[in-house]
């Protein structure tokens, strides 16, 4: 995975890279894991970390970041010559991951029309019932099971 960000003058390279990588991992969570669910009264039911899964360090791919330090319309009026970089990784990641999942499902005749693309939604998109979550857990309905593989079609094996 790669990120290219036009950021003007970089004041702290490590901080800028960290902001972009963190944003991309946040986008990964938005695209694949984090679902905001509400009850019939409009109250959020996924308000704690027990209700949905966040990406961890182990979920993050290696991310190469390139910073373009060019003066632009947005930086010429800034006394530092810089601009914010915190949002750049998040915005592109959700769209890129959603499109990649959609492209992966297309040859199988399956479509996924909503995000996050949780394992349960992928199973349903492929016409398979999702595995049941063990009753002994208090996790949200979309929390993936450990060691669960996603596959579509007859030949999909772990």
Q: 17 lies in a domain?
A: yes
Distance CA 18, CA 14 (A): 6
Q: Are 4 and 69 in contact (CB under 8 A)?
A: no
Mean of all residue pLDDT scores within the chain: 78
Interval 71-106: pLDDT, tens: 766 667 777 777 788 787 888 888 888 899 999 999
Burial of 125 (0-12, 13-18, 19+ CB in 10 A): buried
Distance CA 151, CA 158 (A): 8
CATH number at residue 68: 3.30.365.10
pLDDT of 56 reads 82
Percent of the chain with pLDDT strictly greater than 90: 20
Q: 152 lies in a domain?
A: no
Percent of the chain with pLDDT strictly greater than 70: 80
Judge whether residue 64 has pLDDT over 90: yes
Judge whether residue 148 has pLDDT over 50: no
Burial of 60 (0-12, 13-18, 19+ CB in 10 A): middle
Judge whether residue 136 has pLDDT over 60: no
Distance CA 54, CA 109 (A): 29
**Full residue range of the structural domain in which residue 60 is found:** 2-125
Q: 43 lies in a domain?
A: yes
pTM of the model: 0.71
């Amino acid at each position: 995975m790669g990120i290219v960000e036009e950021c003007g003058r970089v004041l702290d390279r490590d901080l800028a890279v960290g902001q972009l990588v963190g944003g991309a991992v946040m986008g990964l969570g938005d695209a694949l894991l984090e679902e905001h669910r509400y009850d019939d009264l409009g109250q959020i039911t996924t308000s704690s970390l027990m209700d949905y899964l966040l990406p961890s360090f182990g979920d993050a791919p290696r991310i190469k970041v390139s910073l373009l330090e060019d003066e632009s319309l947005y930086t010429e009026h800034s006394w530092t010559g810089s601009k914010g970089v915190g949002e750049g990784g998040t915005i592109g990641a959700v769209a890129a991951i959603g499109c990649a999942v959609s492209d992966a499902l297309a040859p199988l005749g399956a479509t996924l029309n909503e995000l996050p693309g949780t394992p349960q939604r992928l199973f349903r998109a492929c016409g398979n019932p999702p595995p049941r979550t063990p009753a002994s857990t208090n996790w949200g309905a979309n929390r993936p099971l450990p060691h669960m593989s996603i596959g579509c079609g007859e030949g999909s094996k772990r």
